[in-house]
Amino acid sequence: MTHDYVLAIDLGTTGNRAILFNHEGAIAGQTYKEFTQHYPQPGWLEHDAEEIWRDTQILMKRVLAEQDVSASQIAAMGLTVQRETCLLWDKTTGKPLHRAIVWQDRRTTSHCQQLKASGQASLIEERTGLVVDAYFSATKLAWLHHWVKDNRPDVKPENILAGTIDTWILWNLTGHKVHATDHSNASRTMLMNLARGEWDADLLALFDVAPHWMPTIQPSMGEFGHSDPALLGAAVPIAAIFGDQQAALFAHGCNTPGLLKCTYGTGCFLVAQMGTELARSRHQLLSTVAWTTPEQTNYALEGAMFTAGACIQWLRDGLKLIKSAQETDAIVRSVPNTDGVFFVPALSGLGAPHWDMNARASFQGITGGVQQAHMVRAVLEAIAYQVKEVVDAMNQDANEPISQLKVDGGASQNDWLMQFQADVLGIPVERPVILDATAQGAAFGAGLAVGFWGDYDELLSKRQVEQVFEPGEGQAEAQANFAQWQKAVSRAKNWIEN
């Protein structure tokens, strides 16, 4: 039987997807399922790793059944995941030792502050390209290790395995045979030496993480193993693993230095391709791996903003100001402005370029005339304003100013938001037809690795642009209000005292 498809598994922060891509690089079928968010304490967020694995199996089988496709028609599988979320599990039972700690979780803030106070920040930043922050995996793994020692004395240390979500799912997909990750995900742990592409022994010791717990680091594109034939009826090669933001960069064709994209997902992530030379930022951006092949490493600079689509989900599920994300477009158009209200999207602290773990979200400037629509509009404006902050930082680091922004992700469907983004940046915003760029990038990587597609540039040439948003008449007002929004941000910083 001929190979007709590549299967992408996209494991996000709030939901999981399985998507089939055909020879044209187009979506041939997809399934999606949200999963449970666990908030045991303020600022803490956990995921049930077993639920994610159950959903992965359900979604893979469902998309094949709905399209009447057999596993033998799948040329390869690509995996892309939320990156810094991590867990420990027992290799003898196959069970997690604690729920996975999510990248947004702030429980290790004090540990990060202790590292800074003891003078470790410069070493960590130099070795990893990352700032010291609870966002990354290292302090989460340290917390999990101490929890297991205190609460699970029955667990033998030699039986513990550690990993991010890609490692956990790969281990399960391969019937517990392969314990591995790729460079793009490993570069987000705060444990990988960025220049060498290996686990750093000094950092593993600093965070009390045993070297034998850690997965093997492999190139992002290449064979990771085969799925257990019992899962889908035939063994499928697993030929690519990417962090979600790196996968989107690959899908957009940002394969040469200077090209960048912004993904509007749970958080907002602006990533610029920097080529094969390791680049460092002078303005609080992260140095990271874009992707690797057996032949070379591509690096990137990234501005990570923790809260984007998550604030819209919060408007829906927390405040209940909206019933669906789709209705925000009409709501914000119903008012000419925010009536002086500004929102600071620090539900999980502030990421780039502030890196303030103690910041908290706030509405500011509220008066008696403020209504639901003004607050919803303030939230959407804040998403665009924080992107402008990071674009400004990128411009300060770059030789040439950014002239266009390529976008993807759920919130990029909002026409009003994308037009406001173009206005506040003063540059065009390009939105493709396929917004699931993370899944598309994982599929592209896997398909290219096994020869399902022969040429990356030819594959990219088939990607279609749905709309380009040009800066319009709202430019002057949007840019003038940006300064006031920055004032609101300054007042939300350091809200929680040490």
Query: Per-residue confidence at 80, pLDDT binned at 50, 70, 90?
Result: very high
Q: What percent of the chain has pLDDT above 70?
A: 99
Q: Check residue 412 and report its DSSP letter.
A: G
Q: What per-residue confidence (pLDDT) applies to 282?
A: 86
Continuous segment of H or E residues that includes residue 458: helix 456-461
Peptide bond into 353 cis (omega under 30): yes
Q: What per-residue confidence (pLDDT) applies to 498?
A: 60
Query: Per-residue confidence at 120, pLDDT binned at 50, 70, 90?
Result: very high
Q: Does the pLDDT of residue 348 top 80, yes or no?
A: yes
Can you tell me the mean pLDDT for 417-431?
A: 94
Q: Cβ distance 30 to 19 under 8 Å?
A: yes
Q: Does the pLDDT of residue 17 top 80, yes or no?
A: yes
Q: Does the pLDDT of residue 166 top 60, yes or no?
A: yes
Which of 33-47, 67-81, 259-273 has the lowest average pLDDT? Answer: 259-273
Query: Per-residue confidence at 265, pLDDT binned at 50, 70, 90?
Result: confident
Q: What per-residue confidence (pLDDT) applies to 274?
A: 83
**Angle (CA) 418 282 203, round 5°:** 105
Residue matched to tokens 């919130």: 411
Give me the chain's average pLDDT, please.
Answer: 92
What's the burial of 320, exposed, middle or buried (CB within 10 Å: 0-12/13-18/19+)? exposed
Q: What is the pLDDT of residues 291-302, one digit of tens each?
A: 999 999 999 888
pTM of the predicted protein model = 0.86
Query: Per-residue confidence at 1, pLDDT binned at 50, 70, 90?
Result: low
Q: What is the pLDDT of residues 171-181, one digit of tens each?
A: 999 999 999 99
The residue type at 47: H
Query: Per-residue confidence at 97, pLDDT binned at 50, 70, 90?
Result: very high
Q: What are phi and psi of 276, to 5 degrees?
A: -90, 0
Can you tell me the mean pLDDT for 410-415?
A: 89
Q: Check residue 39 and report its DSSP letter.
A: -
Continuous segment of H or E residues that includes residue 243: strand 237-243
CA-based nearest residue to 267, from 282, 245, 289: 245
Q: Which residues contact 4 (CB under 8 A, 6 or more apart)?
A: 22, 23, 69, 73, 75
Residue ranges of domains in the chain, CATH in brackets:
5-250 (3.30.420.40)
Between CA 493 and CA 100 the distance in angstroms is: 28
Q: At 2, is the secondary structure helix, strand, or coil? A: coil
Between CA 391 and CA 472 the distance in angstroms is: 19
Q: What percent of the chain has pLDDT above 90?
A: 74
